[in-house]
C-alpha cells in the first residue's frame, strides 16, 4: 500500500473535479496545480498550491513550459525504497508527488473541428503526456489518473484504503496511462503523416477506440471486438439484438456497396459478406423486390441495406422476409415503430457514414497488409469498347452498374444483370468458369426471361480463355464488361465479334479477396 500525501492536478477537461477533490481533502492530500485547473479548484472552494509557487519558477513561452521542471519530475520519479534517491530528494528539498491527475489538450477534437494549422500545433500537449509517462513508469510508488472516467475508481480505492492505494490498482492504471499516451501520439503521427502524404512510412501506428466486445468472433470459440478511429460511430444501432462479429462484417460489406449507388437510390441484400441481390430502381419498393428476386433463398436470414430513408410501405415489405439486420439512412416514425415490433431485428441507421475511407487492412500471423481502398468512381473514360458491336449510352451505363456491383463481390466474381438489377451472382470460386456457371444457374433458377432480353455480365478480372465468355453468351448474355490484360484478349475479342456480343474492357482490375 502507498499513502498519498501530495497530488498534482493538470487537466484540460475540468468536469467532475468537485467530487474528486472533496475526497482528496477528506484524507488531507495536498494539491498542486497550474493555469486553468488551479483557478477552477480555487473557484470550487478548495485549497491548492499554484505550480509556480511549488517550483519557484514561473511558466514561460505563453504557457508552453509549465510543468517541465526537475522538482516535478524528481517528486514523481524517485524510488521511495531507494536510500540514494531519498537522500538526493532530501538534499534538493523536493517533495514527493504520489498522485498525478492529468488529461491532455484536446488535440483530436481540435483536429476534427479546426483547419488552422497553428492552432492544431498549439494543441499538441508536451507536459501532460510527459508527467503521465513518468508517473506510470513509477507505478510502484505513484498513482496516475489519465482519464476523467477513472475518477470514480480512484475515489472508491482511497476510501476503502483510507487514503492509500494498492500496487495492483496502480499497476492497472499505469497500463491505461501508457495506452492513453500511445493513442494520443498516434493521432499526432496520423496528422503529420496525412499532411506529408506518406502512405507507407518506415514505421506505422494504428489506433482505435473500443466500441464493444462482441459475444464471440466468427465462431463461438473465438473472441471478437470492434474499434473505431474516432468518437463518432459510422453506424448507430437503434433496436434489436446485440450485433455479432459476423453482423458487423456483413454490415460493412453492405455499406461498401450501397455508398457507391446514385444518391438516395439502391437496395442490396447481403449474405456472408457477399451480395445476393442488388437493384437501383428509383421506386424504393420495386428496388427491394428486385434485389430479393435475384436470389430469395440466399436472402433468408441476410442483411438488407437501403441507400435512402426508410418509409412504412417499404418496412412492411421487408417485414415479410426474415432478415437479421435492416440498414437505412434514417427511418420515419411509422417504419421504425413497425420494425421495432420484431424484437430480434437489428435496426441500423447509417446516416453518419463517412465515405472518405483511405486505407484497408488485413492482419495475418505477425504481419499487416495495407492498401489503398478500391474506391474509384467509375465514368465512361475508365472503359473502352473493343467489340465491333457498340453499346448505346443506356447499355453502357447498365454495364458500368454491373461492373460496380461485381467489384464488391468476392473473387472470382461474375455478375449478370438486367435493367439495373442483378439476376445472377457467382462469387468466391477458385475457377472463373465455375463462377460463371453459378451465376447462370442462379439466373435460370429464379428468373424467367423472354427471348431477346438484354442480359449483361461483368467479371472482376479478365477471362484467361474464351470458355468463360462463351458460357455466358450461350446463356443469353448480350454484352460483357471485364478488365483487359490477358494474353488471350484478342481471342476473347474475336469470339465477341463472331457472336455479335458487345465487349467492353475496363482499364482497372477489381479483385476483392
pLDDT score, position 161: 95
Q: What does the domain layout of the chain look like in residue ranges?
A: 2-195, 234-349, 380-506
Q: 323: helix, coil or strand?
A: strand
- Please state, in angstroms and rounded to a whole number, the distance separating the CA atoms of residues 152 and 448: 66
Q: How far, in Å, CA of 126 to CA of 344, rounded?
A: 48
8 A C-beta contact, residue 16 and residue 40: no
- Over residues 230-247, the mean pLDDT reads 89
Contact 308, 284 (CB under 8 A): yes
Look at residue 424 and give its three-state secondary structure. strand
Please say if the pLDDT value at position 10 is more than 70. yes
Instruction: Kindly report the CATH number that applies to the domain delimited by 380-506.
Output: 3.40.140.20
3-class state of residue 253 by DSSP: helix
- Give the DSSP letter string of 371-395: EE-------GGGEEE-SSSPP-HHH
User: Which CATH superfamily groups domain 2-195?
Assistant: Methylglyoxal synthase-like domain (3.40.50.1380)
Closest CA to 442 of 425, 422, 460, 459: 425
What confidence tens digit (pLDDT) does each residue in 149-177 have? 999 999 999 999 999 999 999 999 999 99
- Is the pLDDT score of 248 beyond 90? yes
Asked if 2-195 and 234-349 have one fold, the answer is no
- The grid cell for 133 is 509517462
What 3-state DSSP class applies to 140? coil
Question: CA 382 from chain center: how many Å?
Answer: 29
Q: What is the pLDDT of residues 266-290, one digit of tens each?
A: 999 999 999 999 999 999 999 999 9
Percentage of the chain modeled with pLDDT above 90: 75
Residue 91 has pLDDT above 70, yes or no: yes
In three-state secondary structure terms, 151 is helix
Give residue 108's pLDDT band: very low, low, confident or very high (50, 70, 90).
confident
* Residue 49: its H or E element: strand 49-50
Q: What is the pLDDT of residues 438-459, one digit of tens each?
A: 999 999 999 988 777 899 999 9
Q: How far apart are CA 259 and CA 352, in angstroms?
A: 12
Question: What is the distance in angstroms between the CA of the first residue and the CA of the last residue of the chain?
Answer: 54
Determine the pLDDT at residue 373.
86
pLDDT band at 345 (very low <50, low <70, confident <90, very high): very high
Amino acid 356: pLDDT: 64
**Strand partners for 408:** none
Say what the pTM is: 0.86
Which fold, 234-349? Cytidine Deaminase; domain 2 (3.40.140)
Average pLDDT over residues 85-92: 91
Gap between the Cα atoms of 463 and 440, Å rounded: 16
How far apart CA 217 and CA 270 sit, in angstroms, is: 19
Amino acid at each position: 500500500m502507498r499513502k498519498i500525501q501530495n497530488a498534482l492536478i493538470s487537466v484540460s477537461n475540468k468536469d467532475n473535479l468537485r467530487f474528486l477533490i472533496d475526497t482528496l481533502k477528506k484524507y488531507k492530500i495536498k494539491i498542486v496545480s497550474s493555469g486553468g485547473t488551479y483557478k477552477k479548484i480555487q473557484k470550487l472552494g478548495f485549497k491548492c498550491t499554484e505550480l509556480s509557487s511549488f517550483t519557484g519558477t514561473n511558466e514561460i513561452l505563453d504557457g508552453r513550459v509549465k510543468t517541465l521542471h526537475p522538482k516535478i519530475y524528481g517528486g514523481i520519479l524517485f524510488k521511495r525504497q531507494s536510500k540514494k534517491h531519498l537522500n538526493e530528494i532530501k538534499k534538493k528539498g523536493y517533495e514527493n508527488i504520489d498522485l498525478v491527475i492529468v488529461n491532455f489538450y484536446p488535440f483530436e477534437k481540435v483536429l476534427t473541428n479546426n483547419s488552422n494549422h497553428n492552432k492544431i500545433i498549439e494543441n499538441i500537449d508536451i507536459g501532460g503526456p510527459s508527467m503521465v509517462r513518468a508517473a506510470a513508469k513509477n507505478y510502484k510508488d505513484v498513482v496516475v489518473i489519465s482519464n476523467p472516467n477513472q475518477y470514480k475508481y480512484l475515489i472508491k480505492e482511497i476510501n476503502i484504503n483510507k487514503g492509500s492505494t494498492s500496487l495492483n490498482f496502480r499497476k492497472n492504471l499505469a497500463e491505461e496511462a501508457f495506452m492513453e499516451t500511445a493513442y494520443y501520439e498516434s493521432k499526432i503521427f496520423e496528422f503529420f503523416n496525412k499532411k506529408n502524404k506518406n502512405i507507407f512510412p518506415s514505421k506505422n501506428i494504428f489506433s482505435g477506440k473500443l466500441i464493444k466486445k462482441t459475444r464471440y468472433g466468427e465462431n463461438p470459440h473465438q473472441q471478437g471486438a470492434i474499434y473505431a478511429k474516432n468518437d463518432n460511430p459510422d453506424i448507430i444501432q437503434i433496436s434489436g439484438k446485440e450485433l455479432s462479429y459476423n453482423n458487423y462484417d456483413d454490415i460493412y460489406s453492405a455499406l461498401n456497396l450501397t455508398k457507391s449507388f446514385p444518391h438516395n437510390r439502391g437496395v442490396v441484400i447481403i449474405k456472408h459478406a457477399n451480395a445476393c441481390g442488388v437493384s437501383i430502381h428509383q421506386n424504393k419498393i420495386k428496388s427491394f423486390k428486385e434485389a430479393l428476386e435475384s436470389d430469395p433463398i440466399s436472402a433468408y436470414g441476410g442483411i438488407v441495406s437501403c441507400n435512402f430513408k426508410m418509409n412504412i410501405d417499404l418496412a412492411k415489405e421487408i417485414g415479410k422476409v426474415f432478415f437479421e439486420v435492416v440498414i437505412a439512412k434514417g427511418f420515419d416514425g411509422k417504419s421504425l415503430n413497425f420494425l421495432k415490433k420484431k424484437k430480434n431485428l437489428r435496426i441500423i441507421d447509417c446516416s453518419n457514414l463517412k465515405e472518405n475511407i483511405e486505407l484497408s487492412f488485413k492482419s495475418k500471423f505477425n504481419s499487416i497488409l495495407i492498401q489503398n481502398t478500391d474506391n474509384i468512381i467509375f465514368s465512361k473514360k475508365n472503359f473502352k469498347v473493343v467489340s465491333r458491336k457498340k453499346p448505346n449510352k443506356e447499355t453502357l451505363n447498365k454495364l458500368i452498374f454491373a461492373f460496380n456491383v461485381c467489384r464488391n463481390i468476392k473473387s472470382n466474381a461474375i455478375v449478370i444483370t438486367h435493367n439495373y438489377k442483378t439476376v445472377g451472382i457467382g462469387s468466391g470460386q477458385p475457377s472463373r468458369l465455375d463462377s460463371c456457371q453459378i451465376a447462370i444457374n442462379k439466373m435460370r433458377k429464379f428468373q424467367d426471361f423472354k427471348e431477346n432480353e438484354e442480359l449483361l455480365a461483368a467479371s472482376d478480372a479478365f477471362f484467361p480463355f474464351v470458355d468463360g465468355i462463351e458460357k455466358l453468351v450461350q446463356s443469353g448474355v448480350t454484352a460483357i464488361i471485364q478488365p483487359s490484360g490477358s494474353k488471350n484478349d484478342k481471342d476473347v475479342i474475336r469470339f465477341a465479334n463472331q457472336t455479335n456480343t458487345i465487349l467492353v474492357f475496363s482499364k482497372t482490375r477489381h479483385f476483392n479477396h
